[in-house]
Amino acid sequence: MSEPYKRSRTLRRLQSKVPGGRTVLHYKERKPSKAKCGNCGSMLKGVPRERNLKMHKLPKTKKRPERPYGGNLCSRCMRSLIVEKARLQ
């Protein structure tokens, strides 16, 4: 019987071919869910879907789009928000 952590599905499974020709199961931690817009809930573009360790290694400019509300709102919601603010003035 394999170890409990291998029996549960908390880890994702990767089938990789080793140099010897066998296919081996590798257990890896699952990626976090995709980043979503805070307003409409659509998937955000330009936000990598990686675990914390890899995100630490990335530069700040590669973690989110470089505009106001980048990484929190999608571009459409951001634009409508700014237009609303402008029209109030």
Partner 1 sequence: MIEIGRVCIKTAGRDAGLRCVIVDVLDGKFVLIDGETRRRKCNILHLETLKDVIKIKKNASHDEVKKELEKSGVRARETKPKQKTERLKKRRKTPGELRTQKEEKKKLRDLFKRKKEDEVGKGKVEEKKGESLEEKAGLVEEEKKQKSEKENKKPKKKSAKSDKK
Instruction: Provide the binding-site residues for partner 1, judged by CB under 8 A.
Output: 66-68, 75, 78-79, 82-83, 85-87, 89
Q: How far apart are CA 76 and CA 60, in angstroms?
A: 22
- Minimum gap (Å) between residue 86 Cβ and partner 1: 4
* Integer Cα distance of 85 and 54 in angstroms: 37
Q: In the bound complex, what is the minimum distance in angstroms from residue 72's beta carbon to partner 1?
A: 13
Residue 74: count other Cβ atoms within 10 Å of its Cβ.
21
Q: Given the complex with partner 1, which of 22 and 87 has the nearer CB atom?
A: 87
H-helix or E-strand spanning residue 13: strand 11-17
In the complex, least distance from residue 66 CB atom to partner 1, rounded to whole angstroms = 5
- Nearer to partner 1 by Cβ, of 56 and 87: the residue is 87
55 vs 81 by CB, closer to partner 1: 81
Helix (H) or strand (E) holding 25: strand 23-29
